[in-house]
């Protein structure tokens, strides 16, 4: 592999995000291919036994096994790290593998974690069910209020874990305030940045230590593969995350890494266009439904904060109708927008969180999180926004709205 420009930090340091998204991390083989090569290999060979020994001892550069290194996966890791402004990144098989690894690699029995209340269903399962099972105490707080984090801190608190904007209520966390509280106390912040991606929000600029991703969402962006990533300092990635992932194996497949590399090339274009369309669709819905939760609209209680931290509001938002029957009726009446619980896709997709993504969360916790029976979540895709508005208009009429 020729490590040329894309992997030379002295060169990439001068590149802007749009350039990094297309070229960051690229390493060409001896064939000089323009597009990144896909290395579907589980192992590597050595010219001499001494080379194998030297590589295992870390004395010779080179790869040993694809659970640990792969050229295609490494290109993606470098590209994400560059976009994030992080020293290092490791990709994982899924977003949940990334969240699990980012937490378990640094926590042990006796530790305490403070988590955001509004969160992706499986992230809540990690804080509510998995961590306590291993003797790691957790407290869940209203993450919109930085003081709530402060009030929950104990001497043994090691990690703050939250997402912003949060799935699906679009709660926004004041990154500077919450990361500041953590920094002063030696607590590590782990931010699930799936909704915004580094194209719209870079939590490390506000003091976050670790960002974790479902790359399944906007990074792939076309609904094809599952993938995850964890970004942090070189020290965190090498000495805290890697010992955990090398031996537990939540590794991303090179094929999926290649697909996400291709996705990143258009991330900036897609997310800005989808964000603009989401504001247009949101403005239309605002006049037709009882409540809309969209950080890009002035009606969102944290609109100003969201716009200070994010360069656009992203493609996803929630709104409310009367109840589950009306929500399901609206979904069934859609002709263009698909009923689907995925997000970040170039297609517009809508779901009813209480009966899908958050159906595994107990009803009292769902209500506490602000997920009512009438809530719907919409991912605005790359279709013409007027076609989406027309589809919503006819579906709303069918349910009497």
Ligand X SMILES: *Cc1c(COP(=O)(O)O)cnc(C)c1O
**Applying CB under 6 A, which residues contact ligand X?**
94-96, 99, 120, 122-123, 163, 167, 192, 194-195, 214, 216-217, 226, 228, 343
Tokens of 253: 């497949």
Q: At closest approach, how far in Å is the CB of 218 from ligand X?
A: 10
How far apart, in Å, are the Cα atoms of 142 and each of 22, 116, 124, 282?
38, 6, 13, 25
Which residue has its beta carbon closest to ligand X? 95
User: How many CA within 13 A on the CB side of residue 262?
Assistant: 14
Q: How far apart (Å, rounded) are the C-alpha atoms in residues 229 and 97?
A: 9
Q: How far is CA 116 from the centre of its chain?
A: 15
**6 or 296: CB nearest ligand X:** 296
3-state DSSP assignment of residue 364: helix
Residues facing 246 on adjacent strands: none
Collapsed DSSP state (helix, strand, coil) of residue 331 = helix
Q: Are 166 and 116 in contact (CB under 8 A)?
A: yes
Q: How far is the CB of 96 from ligand X (least distance, A)?
A: 4
What's the CA gap between 250 and 147, in Å, rounded?
35
Structure tokens at 331: 């979904």
Decide whether 99 or 396 has the Cβ nearer to ligand X: 99
> Shortest approach of ligand X to residue 102 CB, angstroms?
11
Q: Which is nearer to ligand X, 153 or 339 (CB)?
A: 339
Q: How far is the CB of 167 from ligand X (least distance, A)?
A: 4
Q: How far is the CB of 31 from ligand X (least distance, A)?
A: 32
Nearest distance from C-beta of residue 221 to ligand X, angstroms: 13
CB 168 within 8 A of CB 200: no
CB-wise, 264 or 343, nearer to ligand X? Answer: 343
Q: Which is nearer to ligand X, 167 or 277 (CB)?
A: 167
Whole-angstrom Cα Rg for the chain:
22
Whole-number minimum distance, CB 46 to ligand X, in Å? 35
The string of DSSP letters for 277-300 reads: HHHHHHHHHHTTSSEEE-TTSTTS
Shortest distance (Å) from residue 121 CB to ligand X: 9
Q: Residue 384: exposed, middle, or buried by beta-carbon count in 10 A (0-12, 13-18, 19+)?
A: exposed
């Amino acid at each position: 592999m020729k490590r040329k420009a894309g992997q030379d930090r002295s060169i990439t340091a001068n590149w802007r995000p749009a350039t990094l998204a297309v070229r960051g991390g690229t390493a060409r083989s001896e064939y000089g291919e323009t597009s990144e090569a896909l290395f579907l290999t589980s192992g590597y060979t050595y010219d001499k036994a001494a080379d194998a020994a030297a590589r295992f001892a870390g004395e010779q550069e080179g790869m040993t096994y694809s659970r640990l290194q792969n050229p295609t996966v490494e290109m993606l890791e470098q590209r994400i790290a560059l976009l994030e402004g992080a020293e290092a990144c490791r990709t994982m098989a899924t977003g949940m593998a990334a969240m699990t690894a980012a937490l378990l690699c640094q926590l042990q029995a006796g530790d305490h974690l403070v988590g955001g209340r509004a969160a992706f269903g499986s992230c809540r399962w990690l804080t509510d069910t998995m961590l306590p099972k291993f003797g790691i105490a957790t407290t869940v707080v209203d993450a919109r209020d930085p003081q709530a984090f402060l009030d929950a801190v104990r001497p043994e608190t090691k990690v703050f874990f939250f997402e912003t904007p949060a799935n699906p209520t679009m709660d926004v966390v004041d990154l500077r305030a919450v990361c500041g509280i953590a920094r002063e106390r030696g607590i590590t912040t782990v931010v699930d940045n799936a909704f915004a991606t580094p194209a719209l929000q870079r939590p490390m600029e506000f003091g976050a230590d670790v960002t974790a991703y479902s790359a399944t969402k906007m990074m792939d962006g076309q609904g094809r593969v599952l993938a995850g990533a964890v970004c942090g300092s070189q020290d965190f990635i090498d000495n805290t995350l890697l010992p955990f992932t090398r031996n537990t194996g939540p590794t991303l497949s090179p094929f999926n890494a290649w697909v996400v590399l291709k996705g990143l090339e258009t991330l900036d274009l897609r997310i800005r266009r989808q964000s603009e369309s989401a504001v247009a669709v949101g403005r239309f819905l605002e006049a037709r439904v009882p409540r809309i939760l969209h950080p890009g609209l002035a009606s969102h209680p944290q609109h100003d904060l969201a716009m200070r931290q994010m360069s656009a509001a992203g493609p996803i938002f929630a709104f409310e109708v009367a109840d589950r029957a009306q929500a399901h009726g609206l979904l069934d009446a859609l002709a263009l927008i698909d009923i689907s619980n995925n997000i970040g896709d170039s297609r517009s997709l809508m779901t009813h969180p209480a009966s899908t993504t958050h159906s595994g969360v107990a009803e009292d916790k769902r209500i506490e999180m602000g997920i009512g029976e009438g809530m719907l979540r919409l991912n605005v895709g790359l279709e013409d926004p007027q076609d989406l508005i027309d589809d919503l208009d006819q579906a709303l009429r069918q349910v009497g709205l």
